[in-house]
């Protein structure tokens, strides 16, 4: 697939995605790497735009240069953003109340300990959708209680069970609670599916996803 076709496909996908206002997003492509530029009113839209580009067949990398410019009802000061984060954490059943959030100029830093990787991801996902947020730095540490000796086997089995993956193209290595994923898949969707499957295994504290996307 040539770069011009890739650029057009990404543009169409951005226009198609109801979570993204593509009017202020620029797209360029070179050697199967896509660069997104422009601005959006929320970090949630920015995240959705990047994910939309990653869904396109032929895309091997996405450079995110989109700027978040909150305006109108999306414009919030740091105290208001902090209050909203605490409210979301308080009512979210999958996020423990041990986490802390620091907000500076709309950019959120998350800290604290959780037992499962999915809780770490869930916290970032919840913050991402809050008005006024311009970026999220996730420094939450996963400290699993379960420490099974067969983490590698559990992760490998989880990958094999996934209908959305060809597990034969992925191999797993583990050490000190970190799962290292290697291999090749055909899309970013498969890459993230593999990471989520690995993160759900007992005893996993971190996933180092080194899988290459090769359409």
Q: Report pLDDT digits (tens) over 109-132.
A: 999 999 888 899 999 999 999 999
Q: Do 88 and 127 form a contact (C-beta atoms < 8 A)?
A: yes
Instruction: Tell me what pLDDT residue 147 has.
Output: 64
Round the average pLDDT of the chain to a whole number and report it. 90
DSSP letter string, 80-129: HHHHHHHHHHHH-TTS-TT-EEEEETTEEEEE-EESSHHHHHHHHHHHHT
Average of pLDDT values for 158-180? 85
Topology annotation, domain 73-142 = 3.30.1340
**Of all helices (H) and strands (E), which one includes residue 211?**
none
151-213 classified as CATH 3.30.300.130: yes
- 146 pLDDT band, cuts 50/70/90, is low
Q: Report pLDDT digits (tens) over 60-82.
A: 999 999 999 998 888 999 999 99
Per CATH, 73-142 and 151-213 having the same topology is answered: no
- 94 pLDDT band, cuts 50/70/90, is confident
Is the confidence at residue 155, as pLDDT, over 70? yes
- Residue ranges covered by each domain of the chain: 3-68, 73-142, 151-213
The architecture that CATH gives domain 3-68 is 2-Layer Sandwich (3.30)
DSSP letter string, the chain: --HHHHHHHHHHHHHH-TT--GGGEEEEEETTEEEEEEEES-HHHHHHHHHHHHTSTT--EEEEEEEE---GGG---HHHHHHHHHHHHHH-TTS-TT-EEEEETTEEEEE-EESSHHHHHHHHHHHHTSTT--EEEE-PEE--S---TTHHHHHHHHHHH-TT--GGGEEEEEETTEEEEEEEESSHHHHHHHHHHHHTSTT--EEEE-PEE--
pTM confidence score: 0.74
Q: Do 173 and 155 form a contact (C-beta atoms < 8 A)?
A: no
Torsion region of 134: left, alpha or beta (phi above 0 gives left; psi -120 to 50 gives alpha)? alpha
């Amino acid at each position: 697939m040539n770069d011009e076709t890739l650029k057009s496909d990404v543009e169409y996908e951005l226009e198609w995605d109801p979570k993204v206002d593509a009017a202020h997003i620029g797209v360029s492509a070179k050697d199967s790497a896509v660069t997104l530029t422009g601005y959006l009113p929320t970090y949630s839209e920015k995240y959705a735009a990047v994910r939309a580009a990653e869904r396109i067949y032929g895309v091997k990398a996405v450079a995110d240069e989109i700027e978040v410019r909150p305006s109108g009802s999306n414009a919030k000061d740091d105290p208001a953003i902090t209050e909203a984060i605490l409210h979301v954490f308080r009512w979210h059943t999958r996020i423990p109340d041990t986490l802390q959030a620091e907000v500076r100029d709309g950019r959120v830093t998350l800290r604290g300990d959780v037992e499962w990787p999915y809780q770490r991801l869930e916290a970032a996902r919840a913050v991402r959708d809050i008005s006024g947020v311009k970026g999220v730095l996730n420094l939450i540490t996963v400290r699993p209680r379960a420490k099974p000796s067969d983490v590698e086997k559990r992760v490998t089995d989880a990958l094999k069970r996934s209908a959305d993956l060809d597990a034969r193209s992925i191999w797993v290595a583990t050490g000190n609670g970190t799962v290292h994923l290697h291999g090749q898949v055909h899309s970013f969707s498969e890459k993230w599916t593999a990471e989520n499957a690995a993160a759900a295994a007992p005893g996993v504290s971190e996933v180092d996803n080194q899988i290459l996307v090769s359409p």
